[in-house]
Every structure is written in C-alpha cells, then in structure tokens.
Amino acid sequence: MKVMRLKIMLIAGGIGFLALFGLLAFVAIFISNEEHSSDGGDFIGGIGGISVSADVLKHQPMVEKYAKEYGISEYVSTLLAIIEVESGGRLLDVMQSSESLGLPPNTLDTEASIQQGTKYFADLLRSAERSGVDGNTVIQAYNYGGAFIYYVARRGKAYNFELAENFARERSGGSKVTYTNPIAVKKNGGWRYRYGNMFYVDLVSQYFISPQFDDEMVQVVMNEALKYEGFPYVFGGDHPNTSFDCSGLTQWSYRKAGINLPRTAQQQYDVTEHISLSEAKPGDLVFFHSTYNSGTYVTHVGIFVGNNQMYNAGDPIGYADLTTAYWQKHLIGAGRIK
C-alpha cells in the first residue's frame, strides 16, 4: 500500500551548530503534532524530540501559523531546525529566505522571513513528491535550491553526501574554501566548495532526538526499522537491497529481535492476538483493510510505537499518525505477537 506523501525523518547526530560560538544554552523540547495534514506521519513532528535554542523556540507560534497556511503542519520541527542552522533565531531574516525571492540577503523581517521560508519549503516538498526523491533531498535543497531535487531525481532519487558534494563541485567550478564547522572538519578536512553548504543535512538533522523505547526487544526492532526511514515503498520488497513493502519491513525488522513473522500482512494478522488500538503497546503490530485491492482482508501492517503513531512502509518508509481520517477509515486494530 502506498501513501503518496513525502515525509522527512532525521536522526540526531553530530555537534551543535551554536556550540561553535558557545553562546546559547540549548533546551530539549518535544513538539507534538496534532494537525497532521496527510495520510502519513513524520517522525520529527510526532514521536521524536528536537533540541533547539530558546531564541529559536520563541518563533514556534509563527512557524506553526505559516506551516498550517501552506499545508505542512507536520514539518514544524523541521522548520525550527532550519532556523537554528540559518540564524540561531537571532537575525531578523531568521530563515535566511530573502534570496529565495531574488532579494539581497537579510532583506526580509522576521515574519516575512518565516512566511517565505515556509512557503519555499512547501514548494520544495511538492517538487520532491513529483520527482520521487526522498526527504533529505528536500532539506539539502533548502540550501542549494530546487535544482538539487532534479539533480538527485536523475541519479537514483535518494540523497547521499556524495551527490551533495558533487553538486557543489559542479556549481562552484571545483573551487574550495576553508570551512571551520566541526562536522566539515570531521568529514572532509575542514573545506567545502564555494556553492552552498554540502553538510546542510547534517547540520539540520543534529537537532533531532531519536525516540527511545523501554522494552529491549522493541528497541532492537526499531533500531533496525529506522535504518530504512526514507527508503521508497517497493511492492514485494523484503530486503534492504530492494527496499520493502509493509509486511516485508515488519518481517525483516522483527527477525533482528529473533521473532519470525510470516511474509504477508494477512498472514501476520492471522498469527497475532487481536486487540484494540487502545490496548496496543509499542512493539505491537497495527493492521488495516482495503488500502488496495489485494484479494485479502488485511492489506497493510505497521509497527505501533505509542502516542497514536506507527512506523510503516508508506512511500517513503516512516512514521504515520493513526488519528488521521485515512488510517481511521481503514483501521482493523492491533495485533500482539504471541
């Protein structure tokens, strides 16, 4: 079953952007997302946490306002992380979005910057969905421009650092400059190409905090499943080399915890203890009917992770909000592995 809505999942890692300057104390916050606007969900707006400075956090209400206006409320966390990278929340043009309008840098005031930056990000998401590229491509495109989406689309449709580096090299004519960001030093000896910032995905993603689960078995399952966040849905896929469909992902991930599930969603439903969603605990499976015409009652399965969220092979693989109208319409219930 395909969920045709691009989502972004970014896992924390690296060294804080503002740690370079040693100025701001960071506060860890959890941003819940009660207004998912599409069938799927995203880790960063639902289950995960985000660690940003107080100067950035004060812009959250305005970010939420314009994210709702442009239909991307599930990306509030991503937009706040972008603000942290672009300005630390301390410049008027907090999203550094003036240039996306063809204006000189720092032309826009704070509200205009957030409005334009959010609109620009929404436009990139739509372009990415049409092109079939993954979420990290959108993050990098915020820095590089929309041309990067088409660059990735012609080269496998999945972001990787090599593509970001090659794009910068081509656009800069190969000219390098010194670069003192610790992530850059760690990765590439302290230099980058003159075009944009090829480490942008790292810089944004480091502000996200991965979810942690109490149960050891569930953590093993999720640690494996999270490796494939952003991978495309592939009907019949059951291996990292091919990507996954819904039951292929659950079978592969649970196997890492020593649990052998049968191959299809219907078969997995048949071997579980059927419970209501209200009884479900992280690590239970969630089942759905009639998501496509498969000839079976059960047509889709995901991993329940708590807080009305599941992790599943949508398109791409990622988190989904079970309270949305789409999932409620097709929900059968949860299944506990016996």
Q: Which two tokens stand for residue 250?
A: 């659950």
* Cβ neighbours of 242 (radius 10 Å): 12
Q: How far apart are CA 66 and CA 119, in angstroms?
A: 8
Pick the catalytic residue: 59, 136, 143, 300? 300
Query: How many Å apart are CA 306 and CA 324, to the nearest integer?
Result: 15
In the annotation, is 274 catalytic?
A: no
Cα separation of 185 and 175, whole Å? 17
Q: Are strands 26-29 and 191-193 parallel, antiparallel or unpaired?
A: unpaired
83 and 94 in contact (C-beta within 8 Å)?
A: yes
- Kindly list the distances between the CA atom of residue 107 and the CA atoms of 7, 70, 156, 305, in Å, as whole numbers in the listed order: 30, 22, 36, 43
Active site residue 59: no
- 318, 9 contact by CB (below 8 A): yes
Annotation marks residue 293 as catalytic: no
Catalytic residue, chosen from 136, 246, 274, 307, is: 246
Residues marked as catalytic: 246, 300, 312
